[in-house]
Structures are given as C-alpha cells and as structure tokens.
Amino acid sequence: MEMSGVGPLTAALRMQNVVQSSSRWAQGQQYRPWTLRSLKLQPLSPVPSDIEISRAQTPKPVDQLAQEIGLLQEETEAYGRTKAKVRLSLLDRLREQPDGKYVLVAGITPTPLGEGKSTVVIGLVQALSAHLKLNSFACLRQPSQGPTFGVKGQRGQISTHISMLEISMLINESFNLHLTGDIHAITAANNLVAAAIDARMLHEATQKDKALYSRLVPSVNGVRRFSPIQISRLRVFLGMFLDFCNLKCDVMYELVFYIYIFGVGFFRLVVVDTNDRFLRKITVGQASTEKGHVRETQFDIAVASEIMAILALADGLGDMKTRLGRMVVGSSRSGQPVTAEDLGVSGALAVLMKDAIKPTLMQTLEGSPVFVHAGPFANIAHGNSSVLADKLALKLVGEDGFVVTEAGFGADIGMEKFFNIKCRASGLRPNVVVLVATVRALKMHGGGPNVSAGSPLPREYIDEVRHWRESTLHGLKQSSTTICVVRGNAEIDLVCQMAKESGASDAVPCHHWARGGRGSVELAQAVKQAGSQPSHFQFLYSQETPIVEKIRMIAQKVYGADDIELSPEAQAKIDYYNQQGYGKLPICMAKTHLSLSHLPEKKGAPTGFTLPIRDIRASIGAGFIYPLVGTMSTMPGLPTRPCFYDIDLDPVTEEITGLF
C-alpha cells in the first residue's frame, strides 16, 4: 500500500475506513432475509376465465420483487417491467448459504388433457409464502410457442407444454409468448449447427483436400494459423503435447480435414417453434447451388432440440459450453463421432446461449417468486425445468424455505427422469415428493372412455380407482416422503384414503384453482411437515450398470414390464456407445406418457408385457442415452380450426384476447 507523506494516524484511519467499507461490502454480500409482500386475491365464484383473473391483478415491479427476495441490484437484468433474468453470480455470493427444502411435484399417468401439475406447484408456493409465511419459490418450464397457436389441451401432450391453467396464476401474458427469448436463442443455436453440418459436407464433397485445407487454415502473409478451436481438436487427436511447429504442412492438413468428414449426419434437425406438420419429413439441398447434394431430413419443434436439454442440465456457463461442444453431430470417415466442437461452432453456440442460461424471474398472482427456465421434451429428453433455476432458488429461499419444482408427464416418465437424470446431474436430492392425481385421470385409468385433446370430455367415467394403487406408486418407492394431492369432486375422500393405504405419507384435497393459495393451505402444511422428516433418496440404478441392465431396471421396476426386447439395431447401437465410452450415461426413456406400458391404450397398471426397444439414440451433449419405445412425434400439427382463430390484439388498449 502506498502511504508516503501520510502520518501514522491518517494511515490508521484510512485503514479503518478500508476495513469498515469492506465489512459493509461483505455485509451487502450476505444472505438477505426476505420482505415479500403478498398480493391479495379476491376469489370469485364462478371461477372467471384465466385471463380475467390475471388481468384483475396488478403485479409488483420486478425490481421490487427482486429486492424483496434478497437479490442485489446487480444480480438482475430487467426485461420489461414484470420479467428479469437473474445472474448466476448469485451462486457464488451465497455459496455458504444452506439450501432450502426441495419439493418435487409429479403426476399420475395423465389424460391427454393434462392434470394440472403446474397449477399445484403455483398453488402450493402461494400457500407456503402468502399463508404460511415461509420463503418459497416455484420453478416452472417455459412453454413452447407452437401449441399456443395450435390445439387447446395439446400442451399436455407435448411434454414441454404446460397445461392451460397455470398460466392464470402468472401475471404475465408473455409467459406464453417470447418471454425473454430463451427458446429463440436455442432455435438460433440449433439451426447454426444444422447449417454448419451441411455446408461442411458440401465443401468437403466438392473441394480437393488441399484446397479445403487452405481455406480451413488460411495462410496470412505466408503463415498458417490454426484457430484455438482447431488446436484443441488437434490436441485431442494427436495427444496433449503436440508441437505444432514441427509438423509438416501436408501432415497437418490431412489431419485437420480428416476429422471433419461426415458419414450420416444424424444431427441435422433444424427446429422452429411452430406447429408445422409439413416439415416432419423434407428433402433439402435441391437448389442448383448445392450441386445435387440433396438429402432427406426433418424439422423438430424447438423444445425438442438437444440444446434445450443441455440448457436444462447445465450447472454453469462453463459446463453449458462444454456440453454444447461435445454434442455429436455426425461421424467421420473412419466412423468416429464428430462433435460441434470439431465443427468449430461451439464458441458461437455459447455466445448465442449466454443470456439464455440465466433463469427468468416472474411472480404468481399472489406475488410469490417464480423462475421460468428451460422446457425440454419429456419423452426424447428429460422433461424437467433447469438445474440452475432450482439451485438459485434453493439459495434464495434460505434454510427454512421451500423450492417447488415440477416434472413433466406422469411419475413413470418425468419423476423417474428427475431422480435419475436431473438429480444425478445437479447433485441435489428431493426432500418431499407431491404426486398430483385428478379424479378424472383416475377414472379414465380405471376404465372410463378415452379422452382426447380438442374434443369435449366424455360425460361418464366408470367409478374405478383401485387400479391406481399399483399404477402410480412404482416410482414413489425411490423417495421416502410422498404426499398425494387430489383434485376433483365426488370421490375425493375415497381417493385420499386409498392413497394413504397405498403408502403415501399423507393425502390431501386441493382447491387452489378456485381459491388461489388459500385452497392449498392444507397441502402446504403437509409439505412443511414432510419436509422436516429425513429423506432416504437413492438412485434406481448406478451409472456403472451396463446400458441394457439400466433399461431393464426402469422397464421392470417403474413400468411393471416382464422384460425388454432389443431390436438388432438397438443392440448394435449399444455396442457402439460402449466402444465410444458412453456406457456410463444415464437412460432417458422415450415412451408414451399415456400408459405405463409402450401401448397408449393400455390403461391402469398393465402387467405381462415385454417392452420393445426399437432403437437407441444418444444426446452426448445433454448427457444421456435415449431408447425409443414406439414412435414419438417431435413436430405437432395445426388442426382445422387452430387456437389462433380466437386470438386477437386490441391495437388501442394493447389487450390480448383468446390466448388462454
């Protein structure tokens, strides 16, 4: 420290100032207790439409909400007045802060209309915070825009798409629209990789090796310089301590371009966030400029992109970048995997995704905080919101607080993947599991007539709920503390009783839809009670278990299958994945959500079936292997009369109609 010309007292005072100001700074960095102001709800009867409920409430400015829950000013980035992205630096600041309780909301096998798990999440958080005065946070998936304009109720079918109701519980129409642009960023990143693959294949197919090399590693004033991305690949290929200066040019270019050659580009799935059925199967490259290099491919809806799964599983910017780089986008001439990093595109992907990685802060109708972040498909991916949103929320609520997060589809899919994929990636463990059951779904699975999206609900269901015991508790055995929440009317007491008999630690009815947080107080108390019990969570399988065994364990223990049956194609893929060192990845089953089996029409808890594994794919960037059980549509369509017929904007008041 420079102190010349300063007396000892002055110096001491200065020192004291420094100490005081750093202690002030350190205080500012500490965990801040919440001062959350709840917004009053006036529950109405009959229940008005979702949008009317939403409009009747004035949200708190998001910077006020941020302050109430202890965020520093520099930790948020506002997007308009009711949304803000939260910076990941928060995790550093509150490193020493113990996590709150971690609550998972899952559902029984749903009807095609969805059973309202997200509304339970929000009702529960409102009850915990506005009524029990406990810090609590909801973590939700971002809905895809495609189905917003497509079929009402279809969101339940498309894993990522949250059912209609919970929207009524967020004061923000843009929840359903662009939000803070994360899905658009994923689309941009995904499509850059797709374009890069085909352009690369074209250039390789139409240029001599030497010309290709000269373009890839151009000579500037007679000196060829590799880009850092190229050097990193060469290091892997040639060993860590390669001395580039001693390589002869012609050796280098053989190596450089060789690793870029593709066999079958199994990645090229361009995505759009639109229900565009005509893009399910297409032929590209038909313009004369592409010199006959046509090929068949397909578009997926944006949320089906591997990049969405990566966003949901990454635990920081560095981790996301690594995962983006290791996405396998094709194979080389010699059959080796080629990654996004090899394509030279990983840095650009990280740049495109650098804001998407920050969770978006919003609020419920009663002013409780919500993170909306990521929304991967629940069949070809793991169907859970982001690890990072959960981690930030767990720090923010503090030791006595609650974070309520949600798993897509039924417990057999979303919850199983939450346990074995998401918790494995995050290192977090759930304290409480809430299982949502509607009387409607119980009836249908007990033998009622089929329910399909877009058609009116059949009036009669046969009153059978006994099947439920077996059908929905398979997955629960992994977690010790489980509460069942039941929605419905007549048979609600019977169902609660049966749930307790079946091993649930508690079972309570829920009326949050009509009464807001107040309708979930009983649930909140049960969750608080359950959260004080020890959790005995354990994984269903160890990572070291061979791929086939892992699949079999899920099929038998979660679905109730007798065994699995592998196609020769699936077996060949498993051999390849083992050879490439992917054998330790967790399994992400791509299965229908409408049955515990692979057959959507089998309701209840079917037995005596063998689960066929048609093919096995790999999302190496996201970090899982996904066996295909039956066919999964990754591009929904528009019906004859899509939702958009009723959607309108008043240009004067800027009010939106028909969006809910």
Cα(139)–Cα(361) distance, integer angstroms: 9
* Residue 189 Cβ vs a copy of itself, minimum distance, rounded to whole Å: 10
Cα(91)–Cα(97) distance, integer angstroms: 9
Residue with Cβ nearer a copy of itself (229 or 238): 229
Structure tokens at 657: 């109609």
User: To which residue do tokens 């102190």 refer?
Assistant: 3
76: enclosing H helix or E strand: strand 76-79
Q: How many residues does this entry show for the chain?
A: 660
- Indicate whether 539 belongs to the interface with a copy of itself (CB under 8 A): no
Residue with Cβ nearer a copy of itself (276 or 491): 276
* Residue 300 Cβ vs a copy of itself, minimum distance, rounded to whole Å: 12
Are 332 and 261 in contact by the 8 Å Cβ rule? The answer is yes
Phi-psi region of 53 (alpha: psi -120 to 50; beta: other; left: phi over 0): alpha
By CB under 8 A, the residues from 126 to 165 that bind a copy of itself are: 145, 149
- Indicate whether 470 belongs to the interface with a copy of itself (CB under 8 A): no
Q: For residue 146, give the amino acid letter.
A: G
- For a copy of itself, which residue of 350, 415, 439, 492 counts as binding (CB under 8 A)? 350
By CB under 8 A, the residues from 196 to 235 that bind a copy of itself are: 196, 198-199, 202-203, 207, 212, 215-216, 218, 227-230
Identify which of 235, 260, 269 has the alpha carbon closest to the alpha carbon of residue 345. Answer: 260
* Residue 295 Cβ vs a copy of itself, minimum distance, rounded to whole Å: 8
- Indicate whether 296 belongs to the interface with a copy of itself (CB under 8 A): yes
Residue with Cβ nearer a copy of itself (56 or 351): 351
By CB under 8 A, the residues from 251 to 290 that bind a copy of itself are: 270, 272-287, 289-290
- Indicate whether 634 belongs to the interface with a copy of itself (CB under 8 A): no
Cα(153)–Cα(155) distance, integer angstroms: 5
- Indicate whether 236 belongs to the interface with a copy of itself (CB under 8 A): no
Stretch that binds a copy of itself, among 133-141, 401-409, 559-567, 650-658 (CB under 8 A): 650-658
Cα dihedral 131, 137, 141, 142, rounded to 10, equals: 90
User: What one-character-per-residue DSSP string does 60-80 give?
Assistant: PPHHHHHHHTT--GGGEEEET
Identify which of 130, 271, 103 has the alpha carbon closest to the alpha carbon of residue 190. Answer: 271
Stretch that binds a copy of itself, among 44-52, 153-161, 619-627, 645-653 (CB under 8 A): 645-653
- Indicate whether 194 belongs to the interface with a copy of itself (CB under 8 A): yes
Cα(240)–Cα(36) distance, integer angstroms: 53
The count of chain residues that interact with a copy of itself, using the rule CB under 8 A, is 89
* β-bridge partners, 372: 140, 360
- Indicate whether 354 belongs to the interface with a copy of itself (CB under 8 A): yes
- Indicate whether 40 belongs to the interface with a copy of itself (CB under 8 A): no
Identify which of 583, 602, 600 has the alpha carbon closest to the alpha carbon of residue 591. Answer: 600
- Indicate whether 363 belongs to the interface with a copy of itself (CB under 8 A): no
Q: Is 283 exposed, middle or buried (0-12, 13-18, 19+ CB in 10 A)?
A: exposed
* β-bridge partners, 156: none
Are 60 and 367 in contact by the 8 Å Cβ rule? The answer is yes
- For a copy of itself, which residue of 18, 44, 56, 195 counts as binding (CB under 8 A)? 195
Residue with Cβ nearer a copy of itself (133 or 354): 354
- For a copy of itself, which residue of 321, 445, 550, 552 counts as binding (CB under 8 A)? 321
Stretch that binds a copy of itself, among 49-57, 195-203, 377-385, 577-585 (CB under 8 A): 195-203
Residue with Cβ nearer a copy of itself (64 or 543): 64
Residue with Cβ nearer a copy of itself (68 or 77): 77
Residue with Cβ nearer a copy of itself (133 or 277): 277
* In 181-255, beta strands by DSSP E: 219-220, 223-224
